[in-house]
């Protein structure tokens, strides 16, 4: 292998180690977990954990529809809770404007 390929593979291993924790290389058939799970505090690790389910959406219409549905749901919830809030004594303005 070329030196550049080895460097790339090492960088990939390092990235996986940063994300998943320390890697233990065991002989075949002797897999074992580390005694204590390592807790990593790294910005990239935290971002990956928070955005684990985030998938890029390339369809503009789908993005708009998703936003429209979320806004409608928020409005329905606000309207449903308005009666309870008024009865309890809280004042919350409920509007249907976007």
Together in a domain, 98 and 80: yes
- Whether residue 65 sits in one domain with residue 47: no
36, HSE (Cβ side, Cα atoms, 13 Å): 3
Q: Are residues 69 and 39 in the same domain?
A: no
Give pLDDT tens digits along the chain (98 positions): 577 788 888 888 888 878 877 666 666 666 666 566 666 677 877 877 787 777 776 788 988 999 999 999 999 999 988 888 777 766 555 555 55
- Verify that 37 and 67 share a domain, yes or no: no
Tell me the per-residue pLDDT of 58-81, one tens digit each, with 9 for 90 and over: 788 988 999 999 999 999 999 988
What range defines the domain where residue 13 resides?
A: 1-54
Domains identified in the chain, total number: 2
Alpha helix (H) residue ranges in the chain? 3-20, 43-50, 60-88
With vertex at residue 10, the alpha carbon angle to CA 56 and CA 24, rounded to the nearest 5 degrees, is 95
Distance CA 23, CA 35 (A): 12
Same domain, 10 and 31: yes
Q: What pTM did the predictor assign?
A: 0.34
């Amino acid at each position: 292998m070329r030196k550049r390929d080895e460097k790339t593979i090492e960088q990939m291993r390092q990235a996986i180690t940063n994300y998943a924790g320390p890697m233990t290389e065991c002989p075949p058939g002797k897999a074992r977990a580390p005694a204590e799970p390592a807790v990593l505090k790294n910005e990239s690790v935290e971002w990956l954990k928070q955005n684990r389910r985030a998938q890029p959406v390339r369809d503009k219409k789908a993005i708009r529809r998703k936003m429209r549905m979320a806004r409608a749901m928020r409005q329905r919830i606000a309207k449903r809770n308005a009666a309870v809030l008024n009865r309890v004594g809280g004042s919350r303005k409920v509007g249907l404007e976007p």
